[in-house]
Amino acid sequence: MYPAAIAEQLRARGFDVVSIHEPSCPHLEGAADEDVFAAAVALERALVTENVPDYRRLEAAALASGAAHPRLVFTTNRRFPRGHPGTTGRLVLALAALLAGATEMAHTTFLQEPGERAS
């Protein structure tokens, strides 16, 4: 849902991240949610999305069957509007803050901006 520039900027900060919009992941760009979810499991990656309903459903099915599932980081278009020019920088900062504390990251996280209080 977000440009590959976010992954590029996070890698520049030393984080091991990829975007499905990068040339290294051509099979995932435009893939079904189930395929992206499965790839995240196989690659042991967290998944960042604002598609809460579909990925919550996939997570619930994995939990119910005892299958592995990726960590999920949910965003919202309201908090990080895709059309706004400042979103990339704000999202990079928020993800970097989350990644910096990744050992404490829950399996499902609703991303907030750095310094923002949970509601």
Number of structural domains in the chain? 1
- Note down the domain range covering 33: 4-110
Report residue 111's pLDDT band, with 50, 70 and 90 as the boundaries. Answer: confident
Inside any domain, residue 119: no
The per-residue DSSP string of the chain comes to ---HHHHHHHHHTT-----TTSTT-TTTTT--HHHHHHHHHHTT--EEES-HHHHHHHHHHHHHHT-----EEE--TTTS-TTSTTHHHHHHHHHHHHHHTGGG--SEEE---TTPPP-
Tens digits of residue pLDDT in 21-67: 998 888 898 899 999 999 999 999 999 999 999 999 999 999 999 99
- Number of other residues whose CB lies within 10 A of the CB of residue 93: 15
Asked if residue 28 belongs to a domain, the reply is: yes
Write the single-letter amino acid at 14.
Answer: G
Residue 115 domain-assigned?
no
pLDDT at residue number 83: 85
**pTM: predicted TM-score of the whole model, two decimal places:** 0.83
Classify residue 77: in a domain, yes or no: yes
Q: Could you tell me if residue 11 is inside a domain?
A: yes
Tell whether 117 is covered by a domain: no
Strand-strand pairing, 72-74 and 108-110: parallel
* 82 belongs to a structural domain: yes
54-92 pLDDT, tens digit per residue, is 999 999 999 999 999 999 999 988 889 888 888 899 999
Place 119 in a pLDDT band, splitting at 50, 70 and 90: very low
